[in-house]
Amino acid sequence: MGDWWTPTMMPDPSLDTKELSSISGISMSPSRQNLHHSLHSTMALPKTSYSVLSAFCTEENISQCIAYINQEVCSLGLTGVSLESKSGSLSAVPVLNLLYEVLQLQRRAQRALHELETQQLKNGSDLEHLQHSNCRLKDQLEHTRRDNSGLHEGERQLQLKIKTLQNWLKSEKEEVQKLQSIISSRATQYNHDTKRKERECTKLKERLNQLLMDKRDKKLSIEISNHVGRSDGKRGLWKTGKMEARHEGEMYRALLSDYETRQRSLMMENSELKKVLQHMKKDMITILSPKKPCVKTEPANDSLEQAVSEGEEEIGDCSRESLEQSCEQAREQLTNSIRLQWRKLKSHVERLDSQASLVASQEHEGEEMMSRKEHEEEMQRMRMELQQCKEFIHMQQQLLQQQLSSPCDEETAALLNDCYTLEEKERLKEEWRLFNEQKRNFERERKNFTEAAIRLGHERKAFEEDRAAWLKTQFLNMTPFVDRKRPALSEPHNPTKHPTREQPHLMACQYYTGQTLQKRHSIVQTVVIVSLSFIPITA
């Protein structure tokens, strides 16, 4: 059964015998339902599958094999082969059917595989193609990008050019406008002039006409009562060649004298300037050549000495060359030497400057910073002060202006002021007068009051005395010793006036006790009442 078993399909000859052996190894065990992939791989079985089959099924395990095959077939979805296990004899029909189906399956699988393989090949080639095209496109993109940037650059430059051209165009337009305005103004001027000339021309023509018509010729003449002498007293001379020569001579003389005066002034100016330059040169030389012990810096020493030596030479030169030397060489010499000295002085000063700053920075590095800061702060403070002062001054000025500007007419204002002050003065005088009057009144009243008070005091005393006397008499009257005392007491009192006098006193006393002594007014009243009460009774 297994001998002439040759598979028709041999799709994959590349399968390794090792694999097969491994498969066969695996296939030995019936329990291999899990290994699907190995099952599928068993579909591509080469020639040597015979050995596998032979290994798979033996005489002993036929039923097992059959069961196993049933199982596998069911799992594959084929119609189940119910292999009858009748004591080792298999019905060939179901087996053949099964085999046929398996073969069909195998063929289908092979076809699918083939298709897949072709598909895969196609895909591979497609992929390659796409990759190539991708590369190509990338390159293209890069290229276009570069082109694009180049074009941008070109565009920008063109824009710049456009701008400059526009500016130039604008300036040209402006110039054109200016020229046009000039032309127009010139044209109006020309027109004006031509019109004027034309008018004059017409007047001329008219006058000419008039003259031609007008036959009578008015002779021009001068009427003079008598000749006048010349202002300088000389008499007139004939016109001769000598006269002309004299005139020419005079003219040239005038010109020459003018030139001479000018030349003289220029010479003076020139000599003055030369003197100034000489002095400057001398000063510069003295500055550049200080005394030997005072020289500080080493590197400058040589140049200074040089300058000194040169200076000495120059001074010698100065004494030698005279100021009147006006020839070119002397002038050039002077200017060149001055220039040289000036340059030396400049470099010297620069050097000194740098040295000073170096030294200063070395010595007072920290302090300088501080001092600069302080300096700056001071400056700031001063600036603020200045600002404040300025504002203050400005304000003052404004106020002053206001004050000056507000009285529009100073005279009437002054007048008004005068009137007001006069009025006030009058008023004050009046008030002062009143005040004085009142003061006087007050003085008088005060005097009266004091007098009255004094009088009152006296009267009070008298009243008290009377009262005491009266009480005494009363008391004495009440006592058994009354008769004896009464006449003694009544003696000092006038018997006729006694009753009359007592009454007002009594009244006064009553009134008095009713009031307080403090009130002046009441005192006055009491005094008045007292004085008043005296009159009718006594009268």
Task: Choose the stretch contacting other proteins; rule: CB under 8 A; options: 117-125, 188-196, 461-469, 493-501.
Answer: 188-196
DSSP letter (8 states) at residue 45: -
By the rule CB under 8 A, 251 interacts with other proteins: yes
70 close to 81: Cβ distance less than 8 angstroms:
yes
Q: Which stretch binds other proteins (CB under 8 A): 39-47, 162-170, 183-191, 353-361?
A: 183-191
- In whole angstroms, the minimum distance from the beta carbon of 261 to other proteins comes to 8
Cβ proximity to other proteins: between 5 and 252 the closer is 252
Shortest Å distance, C-beta 331 to other proteins: 18
> Which one of the spans 72-80, 221-229, 371-379, 486-494 is the region binding other proteins (CB under 8 A)?
221-229
Sign of the C-alpha dihedral, residues 170, 175, 179, 181?
positive
Among residues 103 and 255, whose Cβ is nearest to other proteins? 255
Candidate list 84, 126, 153, 248; residue touching other proteins; CB under 8 A? 248
- With binding defined as CB under 8 A, does residue 510 bind other proteins? no
| Closer of 86 and 219 to other proteins (Cβ) | 219
How far apart are the C-alpha atoms of 460 and 509, rounded to whole Å?
Answer: 9
Compare residues 103 and 179 and give the one whose CB is closer to other proteins: 179
Distance, in Å, from the CA atom of 508 to the CA atom of 455, rounded to the nearest integer, reads 14
> According to the binding rule CB under 8 A, does residue 203 interact with other proteins?
yes
Residues 301-320 close enough to bind other proteins by CB under 8 A: none
475 exposure class (CB count in 10 Å sphere: 0-12, 13-18, 19+) = exposed
Q: Does 230 participate in binding other proteins (rule CB under 8 A)?
A: yes
Cβ pair 533, 504 in contact under 8 A: yes
Amino acid at 254: A
Cα–Cα nearest to 101, from 75, 82, 76:
76
To other proteins, the closest distance from the beta carbon of 408 in angstroms equals 4
Shorter beta-carbon distance to other proteins: residue 80 or 407: 407
Residue of 156, 207, 427, 444 that binds other proteins (CB under 8 A): 207
> Of residues 114, 199, 262, 339, which one binds other proteins by CB under 8 A?
262
Q: Which residues pair with 86 in a beta bridge?
A: 89
Q: Is 165 in the site for other proteins (CB under 8 A)?
A: no
Q: Is residue 264 at the binding interface for other proteins, with CB under 8 A as the rule?
A: no
Rule CB under 8 A: say whether 412 interacts with other proteins. Answer: yes
419 binds other proteins (CB under 8 A): no
3-state secondary structure of 89: strand
Check residue 445 and give left, alpha or beta (phi > 0: left; psi -120 to 50: alpha): alpha
Of the candidates 263, 257, 275, the residue with the CA atom closest to the CA atom of residue 324: 275
What dihedral angle (degrees, nearest 10) is formed by the CA atoms of 44, 47, 53, 59?
Answer: 170
Among 227, 298, 328, 366, binds other proteins (CB under 8 A): 227
Closest CA to 504 of 470, 538, 454: 538
**89 bridge partner residues:** 86
Task: Decide: is 532 part of the binding site for other proteins (CB under 8 A).
Answer: no
Residue 87 DSSP one-character state:
T
Which residue reads 């068993």 in tokens?
A: 42
The interface region with other proteins, picked from 32-40, 127-135, 150-158, 200-208 by CB under 8 A, is 200-208
d(CA 364, CA 362): 6
- Mark the segment that binds other proteins (CB under 8 A) among 181-189, 434-442, 470-478, 485-493: 181-189
Tell me phi and psi for residue 5, to 5 degrees. Answer: -85, 105
Which residues form the interface with other proteins (CB under 8 A)? 179, 181-182, 184-186, 188-193, 200, 203-204, 207, 211, 214, 217-232, 236-237, 239, 243-244, 247-248, 250-252, 254-255, 258, 262, 266, 408-409, 412
